[in-house]
Amino acid sequence: MAKSQSMFTAELIAPAIRDAFLKLDPRQLVRNPVMFTTAIVALLLTVLLAVGNDELATGFKLQLVVWLWLTVLFGTFAEALAEGRGKAQAASLRDAKAELKAKKLTGVADSWEAVPATRLTIGDVVLVETGDLIPSDGEVIEGVASVNEAAITGESAPVIREAGGDRSAVTAGTRVISDQIKVRVTVEPGQGFLDRMIALVEGAERQKTPNEIALTILLTGLTIIFLIAVATIPGFASYAGGSIPVAILAALLITLIPTTIAALLSAIGIAGMDRLVRFNVLAKSGRAVEAAGDIDVLLLDKTGTITVGDRQASEFRAVGGASEAELAEAALLASLADETPEGRSIVVLARERFGQSGALPASAEVIAFTAQTRVSGVKLGDTLIQKGAVDSILKANPGLGETAAATELRRVTDEIARAGGTPLAVARNGRLLGAIFLKDVVKAGIRERFGELRQMGIRTVMITGDNPLTAAAIAAEAGVDDFLAQATPEDKLELIRKEQQGGRLVAMCGDGTNDAPALAQADVGVAMNTGTQAAREAGNMVDLDSDPTKLIEVVGLGKQLLMTRGALTTFSVANDVAKYFAIIPAMFVALYPGLGVLNVMGLATPESAILSAIIFNALVIPALVPLALKGVAYKPMGAGPLLARNLAVYGLGGLVAPFAGIKLIDLVVGGLGLA
Amino acid sequence: MTIQGWGLILAFVAVLLLIAKPIGLWLFALYEGRRTPLHVVLGPVERGFYRLSGIDPAQEQGWRRYAVHMLLFNLALLLLTYALLRLQGLLPLNPLGHAGIGADGAFNTAISFTTNTNWQWYSGEAAMSNLSQMLALTIQNFLSAATGIALAFALFRGFARRQAPAGGAIGIGNFWADVTRVTLYLLLPVCVVYALFLIASGVPQTLAGSVDLTTLEGARQTLGLGPVASQEAIKMLGTNGGGFFNANSAHPFENPDALTNFVQMLSIFSIGVGLTYTFGKAVDDTRQGWAILAAMMLLFVAGVGVTYWQEAAGNPVLAQLGVAGGNMEGKEVRFGIAASALFSVVTTAASCGAVNAMHDSFTPLGGMIPLLNIQLGEVVIGGVGAGIYGFLLFAILAVFVAGLMVGRTPEYVGKKIEAREVKLAVLAIAVLPLVILGGTALSAVTGAGLAGPLNKGPHGFSEMLYGFASAVGNNGSAFAGLSAGTPWYNGLLGVAMWIGRFFVIVPMLAIAGSLAAKRHTPAGAGSFPTTGGLWVGLLVGIVLVLGGLTFLPSLALGPIADHLAMIRGQLS
């Protein structure tokens, strides 16, 4: 997927112009009451142009009609342009999906039959070999493979997908580039990730978000109020002994109703989703994007978000009379089979420090880490080496806790924890040797980011499996507001519930199956694309790059979307003041010549004033399309200064700009002799 | 303009700011149902009422129940008033022998007093018996005011409710308890003292009908009398505004001197300013209340400034003829220009409608401010209760329009403003232009309507426009000049008053109900700030843009055209 796309290329604009006309379909137009009203008024004037009979010049009325239709078309064009960008992305996704074939296992040995991907149903198991495209979303149930997911993430570096654990989810349309895996299909045809993504970027599934609905109601309400204001004018005029032509009333109505924001409203929404997509985050609904702007509490996993991915072994601290070399050797042996980055860093440290080469003899029996024992290790003949969290090691060796070595170990591990490190205890045949100091490295610049979030009124909570001492040290170093230590998935869920009960909105990200309940409970749950299918289903956003730090940007994008809407609404309403000053004197000057003094802009003639106001009203829409699509400039800051800034730019600007704009257009209209 | 004039205005504002908190605290005690010192004496009375009518004051009502009970109560009062007025010729305490009021007149007046409007098409002394004044009109003055305050309480609770009480849905209070407490512990006691003060100042309080006397010139004159002071007190305090006499507070028996004039103006605003503080207390952040009061005060002082300036400047046509000293037409010499300008803005900013000068005789722009005040929905301090709930509707829209600009979905005092609230607020606010402009337009094109205004040209238009604005806004002041005692105006304005009151109240209560059920979001650094100068400015802007722009065409054809003609030396 193209990461950056210019906004106004010819290949985007041409179809958008065509679509702008297609969107004049009343069934589509009625969804936007303000633009629908504008279209009806334009239609009415078009009819009156043919049959009407008033003192206005036909050329003037013709121009009014043209500009009214243009107002409507600019609106539909903005929407079409916003959609067009998504459509281009959808097309490339379709290519990825086009010819998916599956090797469906028949259940008899390893034999398979070739079927089209569209005929796979939940529970089917397929074989995917090197070079094959994965035919459907699913869970790896056997094997390990490296997979190129560029088709959906745009990232060509392959990723590992393996059975079991948190990296078992695969996506249709991605390619296996080495080894082979068996995949159990987890979605019905047409409902996979790719399908959803296509629908999403195309805007086919687009529904109005709650805030958009509320705004549409407000805009409709304003339209009704202004309709009342304009519809009663003929009565007033008749009292004053005159009459106002329908075309003039129509012009006044259209300039007063909030056409600017109404025309751009759906484009803003589509562009907001689009920005997320180009940021490689897929939101399952617009509601989720809006909620992101409202987030009060951000739960961030320590590892990968606050600290650079992996802890590094930095020291061996022997206890109970064991030598450091003895400890290093045991740690090395216990870690040789440990493929985690931490395990590897222990091996590296032991080799650097003591030049130990150490290779596991063939007879060695590896004890894998399990969530129950939380201890790993190795068995060499009758020697058992265990490595794990201090509590786990003590639990695995009953009676050990009473020894002097254990007391010493506790002191050492406290020291390590207070320094923000993680202690890993090592025992040999039930005797404590000491602890490995695993050091957490806090990411550069993360402290400043948290400072920005605090300014925005967002509280950050670090989630970690570390003990409270370690957690506190890292939390202080990283500058988070709070932390949840020794967190289990249940704790996380509990914390989210508690915050929500206090009226706060919570965002988090996660990847594992055990994160799923919390992801579902959070107001914004960003699932990592590398995560399990369960996590991806539970969250309301998926990050294709699997970068947990992005949660911070997602909040910013949500805020930007809401701000853009607010800014353009304020601008649109503030515009009305100048438009009144253009049209009221023009309209009433024949009834009461004294009202000419209200023509503060000094517009040439009443016709020119009305035409200029309507032209300004129309042209401001395309002029603001770039802003609607890009979103207003956003810098993290507190609500007070943010409001002051936006109110000055869009409120005050909206008050002043049309005075200048209408005057300028009036000069052009006069110069060209249009009215 | 004079220093004394501005001194009066500033003194008035200063006293208002001083009394906001104590009155607000008293109202807050009633809002909460707490004990006040008056409970020692009046507590048994309150409980007696509940026992008599079988009401459990602690029982919370949902917004629908609250609304239905409020409507039934008001409907019953309406029918009672109508009956009393129709039958007054047969009833006692009618020393001047007034006949029963005609059907359209009684309809209009019954609605007028039920809706806290007190629009009077009649002259009190020439149409109403003492019984009607006391039993029909004065009682309505109390109860319509109490209803308004109760409704404001209900909306406050919508904002303030944090979570449902154990084992029940979230309610917005109990209408009967609210009305009883407000009447018993606030309106009645204050009015007793207030009426005594007025009596001491020379306002009559008697059941005698009139006195005949010989004037200095030797002519015979009949002076109307009656229980004036008691009605005068609640007329002001409850922002009712219906005078005992036709001349209203310009009449020396209603408003004898400068002191009573000052106290009357204060009493119009006192509950209104108090309620802003009560709101702050209710939502547990008094700055919220002060911010609203600040926005109201800005609009108020600006309005007074324009009216005083215009009235002091006077009519240039008359100035050329050698008439110096501003516009004194229709004003009482004992009050002068500043006190009359101030009174006119106070009475229209609040939905009071009492007048101490004739607004019709103001300069065009001087008279436009009272008109605009009413058109904005009387949200500048406003009628008791009605002012703050109307203003909060604008606050909801202001938060919604601008709130998005801080990048959060809008919230006000911790409650999210969503589609339902926006819909209801727009509905309530749209009622005003619909009926004001619609009624005026209708009258402008029908013979019966056109027969009303005294003047021709834009000034006559202003008279009609003012009439409808006054009715819909439940103000009740007359621009004068409009002969409104016709079936056309009695009927149309009666309907306008009913719509203007209850078609705003019902959506407003629905908002209260909807807000009450919402989760409360604590404010943080990222929340939209609804205190401080920026917010105050924003509120003022929204009220002027939403309220003002709707009425600009009508104002252009009325007072503005009138003014422009005047400075060009034309007299309409």
On whether the CB atoms of residues B437 and B464 are closer than 8 A, the answer is no
The residues with which B224 forms a beta bridge, in sequence order, are B210
| Cα–Cα separations (whole angstroms), residue B235 to A165, B81, B238, B244, B352 | 78, 17, 6, 9, 8
Q: How far apart are CA B30 and CA B466, in angstroms?
A: 35
| pLDDT confidence tier of residue A360, bands split at 50, 70 and 90 | confident
Q: How confident is the model at residue B507 (pLDDT cuts 50, 70, 90)?
A: very high
Nearest by CB: B561 against A256, A566, A595: A595
Q: Do A578 and A655 meet the contact criterion of CB atoms below 8 Å apart?
A: yes
pLDDT for residue A205:
57
Residues B436-465 have a mean pLDDT of 88
A373 is in an annotated binding site: yes
pLDDT digits (tens, 9 = 90+) for A589-603: 888 888 889 999 999
Chain A contacts in chain B segment 358-397 (CB below 8 A): 397
Is 80 exceeded by the pLDDT of residue A532? no
**Residue A270 pLDDT grade (very low, low, confident, very high; cuts 50, 70, 90):** confident
Tell me phi and psi for residue A84, to 5 degrees: -60, -40
A154: confidence class by pLDDT, cuts 50, 70, 90: low
Window B:424-443, CB contacts with A under 8 Å: 426-427, 429-430, 433-434, 437-438, 440-442
CB B365 within 8 Å of CB B310: yes
Using the predicted structure, report yes or no on whether residue B7 has a pLDDT greater than 90: yes
Query: Is A375 one of the annotated binding-site residues?
Result: yes
B552 to A634: CB separation less than 8 angstroms, yes or no? no
How many A-B residue pairs are in contact by the CB < 8 A criterion?
219
Residues of A in contact with B551 (CB under 8 A): 229
The two structure tokens encoding residue A140: 């790896």
Q: Would you state the pLDDT for residue B256?
A: 93
Interface ipTM > 0.95: no
pLDDT tens-digit profile of B310-322?
A: 999 888 888 788 7
Q: What is the pLDDT of residue B438?
A: 94
**Rounded to an integer, what distance in angstroms lies between the CA atom of residue A667 and that of residue A655?**
20
Q: In the numeric block, which tokens belong to residue B367?
A: 């008279």
DSSP-assigned letters across all residues of B379-434? TTTTSTTHHHHHHHHHHHHHHHHHHGGGTS--EETTEE--HHHHHHHHHHHHHHHH
The least confident of A122-126, A156-160, A335-339 is A156-160
Q: What is the pLDDT of residue B229?
A: 92
A533: its two tokens:
């299918």
| Alpha-helical regions (H) of A122-245 | 150-153, 193-202, 210-231, 233-239
% of chain B with per-residue pLDDT over 90: 58
Residue-level pLDDT at A45: 93
A166 catalytic residue (yes or no): no
Domains defined along chain A, listed by start = 10-88+200-278+555-672 (no CATH), 121-188 (2.70.150.10), 295-306+443-544 (3.40.50.1000), 311-441 (3.40.1110.10)
pLDDT of A2 reads: 40
Interface contact flag, B521 A638, Cβ < 8 Å:
no
**pLDDT tens per residue, range B122-152:** 887 788 888 888 888 888 999 999 999 999 9
The answer to whether the Cβ–Cβ distance between B414 and A225 falls below 8 Å is: no
- Give the Å distances, CA to CA, from B236 to A598, B145, B146: 38, 10, 13
* pLDDT recorded at residue A194: 77
CB contact under 8 A, A232 and B438: yes
Q: Mean pLDDT over all residues of chain B?
A: 90
A511 is in an annotated binding site: yes
Cβ–Cβ below 8 Å for B521 and A296: yes
For position A92, what pLDDT does the model report?
72
Among A4-8, A610-614, B511-515, name the one with the lowest average pLDDT.
A4-8
> In this predicted structure, what is the pLDDT of residue A155?
66
A18: left (phi over 0), alpha (psi -120 to 50) or beta: alpha
| pLDDT of B365 | 92
pLDDT band (50, 70, 90) for residue A6: low
pLDDT tens-digit readout, B337-395 = 999 999 999 999 998 889 999 988 899 999 999 999 999 988 899 889 999 999 999 99
CA distance linking residue A71 with residue A35, whole number of Å: 8
d(CA B232, CA B255): 9
Asked if B178 and B145 count as a contact pair (C-beta separation under 8 A), the reply is: no
Predicted confidence (pLDDT) per residue in A226-266, tens digit = 999 999 999 999 998 888 999 999 999 999 999 999 999 98
Percent of chain A whose predicted confidence (pLDDT) is above 70:
95
Mutate to test the interface with B, among A236, A287, A297 (most CBs of B within 10 A): A236
- Out of A165-169, B198-202, B327-331, B429-433, which region has the weakest mean confidence (pLDDT)? A165-169
Range in A314-318, A360-364, B19-23, B500-504 the model is least confident about: A360-364
User: Do A458 and B526 make contact, defined as CB atoms within 8 angstroms?
Assistant: yes
Report pLDDT digits (tens) over B263-281: 999 999 999 999 999 999 9
For residue A4, name the pLDDT band (cuts at 50, 70, 90).
Answer: very low
Tell which B residues from 174 to 233 touch A, by Cβ distance under 8 Å: none
Is the per-residue pLDDT at A432 higher than 90? no
**Average pLDDT in the A619-638 region?**
90
A166 labelled binding-site residue: no
User: Is-contact B430 B418, C-beta < 8 A?
Assistant: no
* Residues A509, A548: Cα–Cα separation, whole Å: 6
Confidence of residue B303 (pLDDT cuts 50, 70, 90): very high
Query: Which long-range CB contacts under 8 A does A213-216 form with residues at least 24 apart?
Result: A213/B419, A214/B400, A214/B417, A214/B418, A214/B419, A214/B422, A214/B423, A215/A261, A215/A265, A215/A565, A215/A569, A215/B400, A215/B404, A215/B422, A216/A32, A216/A33, A216/A262, A216/A265
Q: In terms of pLDDT, which residue wins out, B96 or A264?
A: A264
User: Quick check: A638 and B402 CB within 8 A?
Assistant: no
Least confident interval from A448-457, A601-610, B155-164, B317-326: B317-326
What is each CA distance from A384 to A345, A361, A379, A392, A436, in whole angstroms? Answer: 21, 14, 5, 15, 18
Q: What percent of chain A has pLDDT over 90?
A: 29
Tell me which chain A residues have a C-beta less than 8 angstroms from the C-beta of B430. Answer: 221, 224-225, 228
Average pLDDT value for residue range B423-436: 92
- The answer, yes or no, to whether residue A8 has pLDDT greater than 80, is no
Confidence of residue A1 (pLDDT cuts 50, 70, 90): very low
Distance (Å) from the alpha carbon of B24 to chain A's nearest alpha carbon: 28
Q: Is the pLDDT confidence value at A559 over 70?
A: yes
Of A406-415, A624-633, B508-517, where does mean pLDDT reach its minimum? A406-415
* C-alpha–C-alpha distance, residues A374 and A420, integer Å: 21
